Chains A and B, each alone.
Chain A
Amino acid sequence: MPRAAKKKSVAIVGVAESDQIGKVENKSSLQHHAEAAYNALEDAGLSIKDVDGFLTAGYSSMVVAEYLGITPGYTDSTAVGGSSFIIHIAHAMAAIQAGYCEVALVTHGEAGRSRRDRPSADPAEPGQQFEVPYGFLGAPIGYSLAARRYMHEYGEDRVRQGMAEVAVATRKWALKNPKAYMKDPMTFDDYHNSRWVSWPFHLLDCCLVTDAGGAYVVTSAERARDLKKKPVWVQGAAEAHDHAILSQMPDLTFPISRETGKKALARAGMTHKDIDLAMIYDSFTYTVLASLEALGFCGRGEAPDFVANQRTAPGGSFALNTSGGGLSYTHSGMYGMFLVLEAVRQLRGECGERQLGSPKVALINGTGGYLSSTGTVVVAVD
């Protein structure tokens, strides 16, 4: 049986980044939202006037919708970190199926590198009271604490090698993506010699910090069929979170994608064997290892072997993060949006030098917060 879309009810029909991504001085986060929205609607062959549903994270949807000049009849500001934009696919699907809207626009924009001010936190949040005073600040410290525990359980040397494999393989993909921030090859020595950020993380275990926006458009089958590009059908989705701050994470080595992966696949009526491309949020090399296991691509503690010998690099047997990922392509802060863009482009066959033949089915897994939330979506083309 040819693997292809089984469900054809709701599709992603337009995707784009903002005009420039990487280091973009003097553009605000909102400008990145707007440029990406403009470009994604153009990619779809739709007008802003067609948009009747709006979803975003980072800002309230009120703020961004006003900025864009739209009056949505369906609004969703679900904000659970970088996975939000994966979860928005399912929310848009549900809204379209329920008749709440017909054309849903989802936008992201973050001047992660060049923004002029940092938002201040609410001191009543538990993290501000019970983690921040100890210097639990920023993602590298949080995720490195989880990675250290994983190393303890599964062996430091082999985990270190697995992390290096992910960093090196992901860079190889980035070199094939003209939009990628990182332009130079990375050797294993480069990885091992890069400075410590938060041990056990080297600099090259950590995602980039860039300025970028991204957007996509979701619509009904009826509308999708008349549009410019091949529809990318939503097959199945799931979302969950099991904590917010890291010290409350039930198991530092087994994120909540343990639930969303199997649910999304079951809802899609598919198995791991059907997946031609995995787009897995790589905030850190460790995030990839933990997610591969939680999603069920391999057993617990097996991810370092799963990624061995550059299996996920170009030409390898498991296609992963072909854009170059958050590690080497772009990472504005809440990177999840960009997983969607690459999955759609690969399924449409638009990826140039990094194109994977004719993939039919992709699994997208976004992680948000401190391994706190995940959204998993399976998408496919005819």
Chain B
Amino acid sequence: MTQQYNKPLPHPQGESDVYWQKAKQHELWLRRCDECGKAYFYPRDISPCCFSKRTSWMKASGRARLHTFAIAHRAPTPEFAADVPYVPAIVDLEEGPRMATNIVGIGEPTPEKLRIGMPLVVTFEDVSDTIALPKFRPA
């Protein structure tokens, strides 16, 4: 990090502390509902599938497929001006849940470089002393 990172950072909450601590160790962890066995995103103590308190943490494989993407050409706020064009994306994790992320590692993004369904793998961007953002690159 040569420059000060000035984009919005997540503010971990009690029930997401583990998620962000693991991310800082470059691991992607998910919550799982032990009532039905499904993984879910985003992390919360009571599961949204069964509204159950029987939940646990699990390490994700980090493999995903591209569900959809856009290419942001106009910076939504000045902090993103240096990033455009960038790729907001939604990915289907191998374990089932869907999450928001960015696709990186493709150079200048163009629609031709991105194919819905393409296999992806997680990669982590260290953005502060406590936060690493899970992003995805082509597998």
Contact = CB atoms under 8 A, between A and B. Distances in A.
B116 A152 contact: yes
A128 interface: yes
B12 interface: yes
Interface of B: 7-13, 16, 41-42, 67-74, 76-77, 80, 83, 85-86, 88-90, 98-102, 111, 116, 127, 133, 135
Interface in A94-151: 123-124, 126, 128-138, 140-141, 144-146, 148-149
A135 B88 contact: yes
Given A129-B12, A135-B80, A148-B68, A197 B116 contact: no
B70 A141 contact: yes
Given A129-B12, A134-B100, A199 B133 contact: no
A70 to B, nearest CB: 37
B30 to A, nearest CB: 12
A144 B11 contact: no
A126 B7 CA distance: 17
A136 B100 contact: yes
Given A133-B10, A149-B67, 17 more contacts: A128-B10, A130-B100, A134-B101, A134-B102, A134-B135, A135-B86, A135-B102, A141-B72, A145-B68, A145-B70, A145-B90, A152-B116, A197-B74, A198-B71, A199-B73, A199-B85, A252-B68
Considering residues A145, A196, A245, A247, which has the most beta carbons from chain B within 10 angstroms of its beta carbon?
A247
Contacts of B9: 133
Contacts of A201: 70
A122 B116 CA distance: 32
A267 interface: no
Given A135-B72, A197-B74, A247-B100, A141 B88 contact: yes
Contacts of A349: none
B73 A196 contact: yes
Contact of A148 (B70, B72, B74): B70
Contacts of A133: 7-10, 127, 133
B71 A152 contact: no
B10 A199 contact: no
Contacts of A149: 67-68, 116
A247 B74 CA distance: 21
Interface of A: 123-124, 126, 128-138, 140-141, 144-146, 148-149, 152, 195-201, 245-248, 252
Contacts of B86: 135
A289 B111 CA distance: 22
A124 B13 contact: yes
A144 B70 contact: yes
Considering residues A124, A129, A152, which has the most beta carbons from chain B within 10 angstroms of its beta carbon?
A129
Given A135-B86, A137-B80, A198 B100 contact: no
Contacts of B88: 134-136, 141, 145, 198
A130 B42 CA distance: 7
Given A135-B83, A135-B86, A197 B73 contact: yes
18 contacts: A129-B10, A129-B16, A134-B88, A134-B133, A135-B76, A136-B88, A137-B8, A137-B76, A140-B76, A141-B70, A145-B90, A148-B116, A197-B73, A198-B70, A199-B71, A200-B70, A201-B70, A247-B99
Contacts of B7: 133, 135
Contacts of A138: 76
Nearest to A132: B8
Contacts of A135: 7, 72, 76, 80, 83, 86, 88, 102
B73 A130 contact: no
A138 B8 CA distance: 14
A129 B11 contact: yes
Contacts of A148: 68-70, 116
Nearest to A121: B8
Contacts of B70: 141, 144-145, 148, 198-201
B79 to A, nearest CB: 9
A248 B42 CA distance: 9
Contact of B42 (A126, A145, A152, A246): A126
